[in-house]
């Protein structure tokens, strides 16, 4: 398992946020490896990201031009067919979700989609995989930046970077200022492009057509050094985390975080209420490599396709410690 380690532990913004939010959820996701069913919002976002990545390719420039001319994806037949296929695959192919996907894509493409004036190179879905072990700092971090524009002015190279967000709300002022994703991305940009100047980094919230941009503070070299020391401390803490630490800080017992647990049943509108994926016990399947290392999880055995040396095994997750007794399996009430 990831805390006891044979392979190096890599940090990410989402993994750190989970670690700091609830020890049970962190244990469930990264030690038990329970399946992540996703939701409509995240699945819509996956569709939008796939389409925007396609439109950024030079060979699809005509589709992009047609999209700008018509102002909607629905009037570009080949593109719309692709969107509907992709949305169906992600389980969001109904009319209401397709309308939102169309609107989200338009918000993205009309705003300097190929970069500001002077852009010489556009990097799309740029992955980074950084390992640092120097001068007392030690951390591993990985992620993916939606777009990086490399701009040349007077023989100097500048960088502008952005991340698309399909979430229903923008960041609060505090979350915008203290944003783990921004910290990690700016560390990655400095490590990947040490001779370039980061001029702008922002989030583009696709649901907000009139004012989608939220600018991030550009951190100084000293501030980024400080964040790297924070990552060093987090690396150590997360490497030392085991399943026995699942009860260390449960969101269910924290008034500011217990909303993360969700609730059983339905809302007043009759729709299924949000509930944390780690709250209930479940049976599920995991695929392991020849060394017993986790590869993938699924709710059914048929969803997994092992290759030579890989095996699929049934696993039982006992549920959140705040709601279920792990020994008896009986339900109990959170304080």
Domains and CATH numbers, the chain: 40-109 (no CATH), 119-239 (3.90.320.10)
Tell me what the mean pLDDT of segment 5-15 comes to.
86
Q: What is the pLDDT of residue 222?
A: 95
Confidence band, pLDDT 50/70/90 cuts, at residue 333: low
**Do the beta carbons of residue 335 and residue 255 sit within 8 Å?**
no
Nearest CA-CA partner of 33 in 272, 243, 222: 243
DSSP string, 28-74: HHHTS-------HHHHHHHHHHHHHHHHTSGGGHHHHHHHHHHSSGG
For residue 86, pLDDT beyond 50: yes
Q: How much is the pLDDT for 207?
A: 95
Q: How far is CA 105 from the centre of its chain?
A: 18
Per DSSP, the three-state class of 125 is strand
What contacts 311, CB < 8 A, 6 or more positions away? 287, 288
pLDDT at 292: 92
Choose among 178, 264, 243, 307: nearest CA to 27: 243
Above 90 in pLDDT, residue 77?
yes
**Tokens at residue 87, please?**
């949305």
Count of other CB atoms within 10 angstroms of residue 255: 7
pLDDT at 102 over 80: yes
Close Cβ partners of 142 (under 8 Å, ≥ 6 residues apart): 10, 11, 12, 127, 128, 129, 130
**Rounded Cα gap, residues 167 and 169, in angstroms:** 6
CA distance 306 to 313: 11
pLDDT at residue 60 greater than cutoff 80: yes
Residue 236 has a pLDDT of: 97
Structure tokens at 83: 């969107």
Q: What is the mean pLDDT of the chain?
A: 92
pLDDT of residue 6: 62
Q: What is the DSSP letter of 159?
A: E
pTM: 0.86
CB 231 within 8 A of CB 9: no
Q: How far apart are the first and last CA of the chain?
A: 30
Q: Please determine, for residue 334, whether its predicted confidence score (pLDDT) is greater than 60.
A: no
In percent, the amount of the chain with pLDDT more than 70 equals 97
Average pLDDT over residues 297-313: 95
Share of the chain above pLDDT 90, in %: 83
- Say if residues 127 and 142 touch (Cβ distance below 8 Å): yes
User: Of how many residues is the chain composed?
Assistant: 335
Q: For residues 299 and 33, what is the distance between their CA atoms, to the nearest angstrom?
A: 11
Residue 335 has pLDDT above 70, yes or no: no
The SS3 assignment for 191 reads helix
Q: Cα–Cα distance between 283 and 267 in angstroms, integer?
A: 26
Residue 224 zone, left/alpha/beta (φ > 0; ψ -120 to 50; rest): alpha
Q: How many CB atoms lie within 10 A of CB 4?
A: 11
> What angle do the packed helices 77-89 and 40-55 form, to 10 degrees?
140
pLDDT at 208: 95
């Amino acid at each position: 398992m990831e805390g006891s380690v044979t392979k190096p532990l890599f940090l990410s913004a989402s993994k750190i946020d989970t670690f700091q939010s609830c020890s049970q959820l962190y244990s469930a996701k990264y030690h038990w490896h329970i399946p992540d069913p996703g939701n409509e919002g995240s699945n819509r976002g996956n569709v939008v990201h796939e389409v925007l990545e396609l439109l950024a390719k030079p060979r699809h420039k005509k589709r992009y031009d047609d999209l700008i001319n018509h102002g909607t994806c629905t009037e570009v037949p080949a593109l719309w067919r692709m969107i509907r296929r992709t949305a169906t695959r992600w389980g969001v192919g109904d009319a209401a979700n397709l309308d939102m996907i169309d609107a989200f894509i338009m918000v993205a493409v009309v705003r300097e989609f190929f970069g500001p004036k002077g852009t010489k190179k556009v990097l799309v879905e740029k992955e980074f995989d950084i390992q640092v072990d120097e001068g007392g700092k030690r951390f591993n971090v990985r992620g993916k930046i939606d777009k990086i524009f490399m701009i040349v002015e007077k023989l100097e190279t500048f960088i502008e970077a952005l991340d698309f967000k399909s979430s229903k709300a923008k960041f609060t002022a505090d979350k915008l200022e203290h944003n783990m994703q921004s910290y990690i991305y700016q560390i990655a940009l400095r490590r990947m492009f040490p001779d370039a100047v980061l001029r702008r980094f922002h989030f583009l919230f696709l649901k907000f057509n009139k004012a989608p941009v939220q600018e991030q503070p550009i951190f100084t070299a000293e501030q980024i050094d400080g964040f790297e020391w924070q990552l060093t401390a987090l690396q150590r803490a997360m490497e030392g985390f085991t399943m026995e630490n699942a009860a260390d800080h449960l969101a269910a017992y924290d008034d500011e975080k217990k909303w993360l647990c969700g609730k059983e049943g339905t809302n007043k509108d009759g729709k299924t209420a949000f509930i944390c994926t780690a709250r209930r016990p479940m049976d599920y399947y995991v695929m392991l490599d020849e060394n017993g290392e986790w590869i993938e999880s699924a709710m059914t055995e048929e969803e997994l396709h092992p290759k030579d040396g890989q095996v699929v095994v049934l696993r039982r997750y006992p549920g959140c410690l705040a709601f279920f007794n792990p020994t008896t399996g009986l339900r109990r009430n959170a304080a």
